[in-house]
Chain A
Amino acid sequence: MDYVPAISRWIHLLAGVMWIGLLYYFNFVQVAAMKAAAADNTAGGISKHVAPRALFYFRWASVVTWLAGASLLGANFGNAFLLRPSHAAIGLGAWLGTIMLLNVWGIIWPNQKRILGIVQATDEEKNKARRRAFLASRFNVMLSIPMLFLMAAGGHTAIFFGA
């Protein structure tokens, strides 16, 4: 067994499932649940007990996924990010994953800190933060669709691209 790429691939998949799984949980479940809970005054439980825990695993899983992916690319890191023909599919997938990671740490998390009261904010600032975090999260769901296609295609270009 070639330990580094094998273990990197395994960790990349484990952390990736956690990251994208929680991204889908936020978008497919929690957004609608918060709306319904706000209507009967039970949203406090979700924002106090569920969201902070989910966000913790979500943002750190994104880092582990990226690092394991970079380790998996190894010497081909440059070939992938420069979109060389031999690594075009995985390279474009890696670019999408990188944009998503920056989105998590640069937009989603700083705005979530305002929403959850970890950082002081006025009600108006909280409303703006809510909208920004929502759109950034939805943007990541949109990017995850081609990203996962390209990740699956990366090692199987003959099946996906006939090349």
Chain B
Amino acid sequence: MKNPLDSLWGTVISGVVLTVILFFVVKALIGG
């Protein structure tokens, strides 16, 4: 499998996916 960080779009999409995951992590930590 190609490393997503080799392309700019792959990097940006990985960052957005990570943002969604961490959004739910913080939501769970806050208890919201």
Contact = CB atoms under 8 A, between A and B. Distances in A.
Interface of A: 27-28, 83, 85, 88-89, 92, 135, 138-139, 141-146, 149-150, 153, 157, 160-163
Interface of B: 3, 5-6, 8, 11-12, 14-16, 18-19, 22-23, 25-27, 29-32
Nearest to B3: A135
A83 B11 contact: no
Contacts of A144: 15
The DSSP consensus for interface residues of chain B is: helix
B2 to A, nearest CB: 13
Contacts of B25: 92
A146 B18 contact: yes
Contacts of B5: 135, 138-139, 142
